[in-house]
Amino acid sequence: MTATSSRQTGSQPRLHEHGGEVQAFGTVRHFPLGLARDARLYSCQRLNRVLADSQILYALYKKHHWLVRGPTFYSLHLLLDKHAAEQLQLVDSMAERVQTLGGVAMGDPRHIAEITRIPRAPNGVEPVPAMFSRLVDAHETILIEARDAATRVAALGDDGSNDLLVSGVVRTGELQAWFLAEHLVDTPLVGTGRERDEASRDESGGQSISG
């Protein structure tokens, strides 16, 4: 075989290859981070839990972004997409933190479905208040886990993971949960005529000014 034909053969992609794992999930490699192996292993376990739930939350945001409907569609469509983008950034940061610690980040959706504690949403379309309530509940699940994880990894000396959980997951989650919860307040956009009369009577010392 000539050198030319050898090079041509070598340029063929090696398709349909399979191999064993080079690192098992739930293990950590040794990296010179000045952090004990057990501390890194524990941090990876806690980060992966939050990571799994956060990926489900991201997917819920995108689902509701597509399926939301009603007179406030446009503003809600944009809000949900903004929150989804912020969650996606957190997902990437947590996954990279796990890798930085020498672990294996959870990335397969089928694996995530086995681990997450966030209930599965219906396949169809829910009313908008139900969508928002579901998102708020998911946020609370993540916030509880993230706060506990942050406290425990800090006690083991993992300040980097603590900072990500507090400054990223908790603060972003709290803000997003607030925005969602305010949409669930049952307040009319414009008061009824009776409400306006009562407000006018209160301001005028008990005398109605409506005639």
Phi/psi at 96 (5° precision): -70, -30
211 domain residue, yes or no: no
Whole-Å CA distances, 21 to 18, 27, 82, 109:
10, 12, 36, 18
How many domains does the chain fold into? Answer: 1
Task: Report the alpha-carbon distance of residue 168 to residue 122 in Å, rounded.
Answer: 29
Q: Give, for 132, the enclosing helix (H) or strand (E).
A: helix 128-155
In a domain, 35, yes or no: yes
Give domain status of residue 2, yes or no.
no
Q: Domain residues for 143?
A: 31-184
Please answer whether residues 127 and 183 qualify as being in contact, where contact means their C-beta atoms are separated by less than 8 angstroms.
no
Q: What is the dihedral of CA 116, 49, 61, 137, to 10 degrees?
A: 70
138 belongs to a structural domain: yes
Encode the chain (211 residues) as per-residue pLDDT tens digits: 555 555 556 788 988 888 889 999 999 999 999 999 999 999 999 999 999 999 999 999 999 999 999 999 999 999 999 999 999 999 999 999 999 999 999 999 999 999 999 999 999 999 999 999 999 999 999 999 999 999 999 999 999 999 999 999 999 999 999 999 999 998 765 555 565 566 556 666 655 444 4
Q: Is residue 200 part of a domain?
A: no
Written as six digits, the tokens of 195 are 């409400």
Note the pTM of the prediction, 2 decimals.
0.83
List the CATH number of the domain containing 122.
1.20.1260.10
Per-residue pLDDT, 202: 63
Residue type, 113: A
Looking at the domain assignment, is residue 26 inside a domain? no
Contacting residues for 125 by C-beta, under 8 A, at least 6 apart: 67, 69
pLDDT at site 191: 56
